[in-house]
Amino acid sequence: MCLNGWGGKLHEELLPYVENTAPDVLCLQEVVHSPASDKDWLTYRDGDHILPQRANFFRDVCNALPEHVAVFCPAAQGVLWDEEQSVPSQWGLATFVHRSFPIIGQVQGFVHKGFSPVGYGDHPRSRSAHGLRIYDYQAGRPLSVTHMHGLRDLNGKMDTPERSAQARKLLDLSRQVSESDDLSVICGDFNVEPDSETLRILADAGFSELVTGRGFNSTRNSHYKRPGKFADYLLINHQDAVRGFYVVHDPEVSDHCPLVLDL
């Protein structure tokens, strides 16, 4: 499963969904981790942009998936607010793997800028990626999975040199964690349109995109009010390994839809 968790804003819907589905591998973007606070909620402030944030979203998902190994990959540390008290908080992505699947390789890096240790930074902000290689005993093969949260440009989802560089860095991270004959998956909230150069770069490297390739017309739901209904993608290098692929619109657990791949 690949999902942008929206900072845990819909945690009352998201956590039971994750607990009940318990995907073998969960690639989760937009994860908040505030180890200095035991609060459930804090507030994000960026000018007139004010949002409630699930203060320890990473901890929440760990509790929902007690049989999984969890890895948090921060992109930046800034502050959230408990009324007028600032609280240091990390923001990034996380990967959860059921403990029955040995993790036999990992890579963590940045696809845009680098770690921002003091403040979330100027837009477009730092973006991290995480790749891992596991062994699937039932299938008798290794599998590599790499995901990112693509940069958000305030001007839109158009192609830019930064996004092209980001795609190449993502592909490089996938190759670092994979062997030549691996079944490999690349996924995430890419923040681009279906006709983007990002997806062309990955297609030229042998990856097939399953969202539009399987006829789905959106990866957003009713919580997303702006135009442009695509953001999330999942690609695989061997389509014949796909047993099923789904973009889940019900239940709504974020303003993004979960992408679920069955191999």
Q: Cα(108)–Cα(64) distance, rounded to whole angstroms?
A: 24
Q: 9-42, pLDDT tens digit by residue?
A: 999 999 999 999 999 999 999 999 999 999 999 9
Give me the residue label for tokens 């009940």. Answer: 20
pLDDT of residue 51: 86
Mean pLDDT along residues 190-217 = 97
Amino acid at 177: V
The end-to-end CA distance of the chain, in Å, is: 11
DSSP state letters, 56-82: THHHHHHHH-TTEEEEEEEEEEEEEEE
Domains of the chain, each with CATH number or no CATH: 2-262 (3.60.10.10)
Whether the model pTM is above 0.95: yes
Least Cα distance to 61 among 90, 97, 86 occurs for: 97
